[in-house]
Structure 1
């Protein structure tokens, strides 16, 4: 079966299940929101109420997203690893490494973000999670770790999107594998 993606003829293929595609879409939307709004609150707006509102919303959203992301990691873990490791294709191996770094870095961002919060977490009024750490020095360390991990994740996601664009421009629209 053949179809066109962004004007390029392509053979229909996908090694991703519907569940993986759905989890990827949910993750992408939430991560893009969290990162763009987080950078906005941290570096652009000077209005304290906006910073606080974005922070509270993002902490609650990330708290709900954390188990979804862990589930996504479990669903994806081990898929295609053997093929990649047996392959002599350097680009395929590089993509494998970057994908795994994205997973690991995202997990670090989530955990450090959770641990840097110095107050009880209000999850949209549904429930509250007490602050895990009370030592201000540890809060600062996790906050710094969170910031560094966010920069690292932004770089990895930029590389990921650049690779998708590169593949598309060279006639291999890999994005179609993520379509439903």
Structure 2
């Protein structure tokens, strides 16, 4: 039988990822859809860019741990669909991060600590990556909502999946 236990690192990275992704999605869509001041919009954009750059290595480690876990343990019987959906969430998150970097139309500031060069200087490609980034964010938002609803559904029907996601058992 496949393992149902995750390492403390996997659990910590899951909750760190969840916090970052929910923050970035909520704040990104808020400044896009709500009437906010240009200063607030610029502040949120700067924070999201900085957090995203810092999140990239965290996500890379999380992805590596997931792949290693799947190699060693596979999926639990009867949970292949959940595994596929999780893989899609990982892929879309990677696309959001990559397109977010590639769409930058200026050097990338990381909380004023470091400045990274603008990866692409062609405005046409910047726009293409911006469009792809927006679409991937919409898809990621839907996948996160689906993920949360699936957790709620499993908890309601007596399959406590959250129990596996806590360090202290």
Query: Structure 1 length as normaliser, TM-score?
Result: 0.86
Select which of 67, 85, 90 maps to 2:57: 67
Contact 1:84–1:93 (CA<8 Å) still a contact in 2? yes
Structure 1 runs of 4+ aligned residues shifted over 4 Å read none
Contact 1:120 1:131 in 2 (8 A): yes
Larger Rg belongs to: 1
2:139 equivalent to 1:149: no
Q: How many residues align?
A: 164
In the other structure, the counterpart of 2:75 is 84
Which of the residues 107, 110, 113 maps onto 1:126?
113
Native 8 Å contact 1:14 1:178 kept in 2:
no
**What SS does structure 1 have at the residue aligned with 2:75?**
helix
Deviation at 1:78, TM superposition (A): 4.0
The structure that is strand-richer by fraction is 1
TM norm structure 2 = 0.92
The 5 A counterparts of 1:1-12 are: none
RMSD of aligned alpha carbons: 1.6
Structure 2: which 5+ runs fail to align? none
